[in-house]
Structure 1
């Protein structure tokens, strides 16, 4: 049962990410997210990186409350959120934005589709008129771009 809580939370985070990205990061907290789109930061750390702390605090609190009297469902929810956060960090920061120069020449259609969707998102430098707010779930049109190339 605990495994299902972790997996269910991990996948539910995709919907939460879409909502938070569209309505919070491109909404009232645009002031923190803006430099991620317009590259106005003067160094390796952006204001956008504060979202790491904003999202980590409730996860840590859930882990804490989930271990006070043995492991309960709060801990497993937090574990699912933490795993999603790790996946986000590796795919978004390392793979897409190349904070570490790895997987630059991948030919994997799924990874290429994620990268393309993210580029579409970043073509908008203002908070309005955005698209592709999700993370792991990529619109089908981006898959088709790369899967059709590999079939010829």
Structure 2
């Protein structure tokens, strides 16, 4: 049962991420997210990186308080959020933005579509008129681009 709580939380985090990204990061916390779009930072870190800390705090709290009660469901909700956060870091920061130069030559359609959707999101350098606010879900139009093998 605990595995399913963590798995369901991981899956539900995609919707939460979309909402947080669209209405909070592109809303009242745009001042933290802006440098991720306009690349106005000078170093390796961005103000946007504060979101890792912001999201880690409730995750750690859930896991801590859930562990006090014999690792109850609260712990496994925190665990699902933590695993999603780890996936986000590896896929978004390492794979998509190439903070570490690995996995840059993939030919897998899903990963190519994921990069394309994220690139579409970043073509907007203001907080308005964005698209593709999700993370692991790729809109079908980008996915189809890399599966269409018919000759025209």
TM range (shorter): over 0.9
Rounded to whole Å, the distance in 1 between the matches of 2:148 and 2:69 is: 53
Partner of residue 122, structure 1: 122
Where 2:68 maps in the other structure, the secondary structure is coil
Q: Please report how far the alpha carbon of residue 106 of structure 1 lies from its aligned counterpart in structure 2 after TM superposition.
A: 0.4
Partner of residue 101, structure 1: 101
Q: Please report how far the alpha carbon of residue 69 of structure 1 lies from its aligned counterpart in structure 2 after TM superposition.
A: 2.4
Q: What do the CA deviations read for 1:28-53 (whole angstroms, capped 9, x no partner)?
A: 00000000000000100000000000
Provide structure 2 residue ranges, at least 5 long, that are not aligned to the other structure: none
Q: Please report how far the alpha carbon of residue 138 of structure 1 lies from its aligned counterpart in structure 2 after TM superposition.
A: 0.5
RMSD of aligned alpha carbons = 0.8
Rounded to whole Å, the distance in 2 between the matches of 1:142 and 1:124 is: 17
Provide structure 1 residue ranges, at least 5 long, that are not aligned to the other structure: none
Partner of residue 85, structure 2: 85
Partner of residue 53, structure 2: 53
Give the alignment's TM-score, normalised by structure 2.
0.98
Rounded to whole Å, the distance in 2 between the matches of 1:115 and 1:3 is: 30
Rounded to whole Å, the distance in 2 between the matches of 1:48 and 1:69 is: 34
Runs of 4+ in 1 over 3 A off after TM superposition: none
Which shifted more, 65-74 or 31-40? Answer: 65-74
Give the alignment's TM-score, normalised by structure 1.
0.98
Partner of residue 132, structure 1: 132
Q: Please report how far the alpha carbon of residue 62 of structure 1 lies from its aligned counterpart in structure 2 after TM superposition.
A: 0.2
Matching of residue 24 in structure 1 with residue 24 in structure 2 = yes
Q: How many residues align?
A: 151
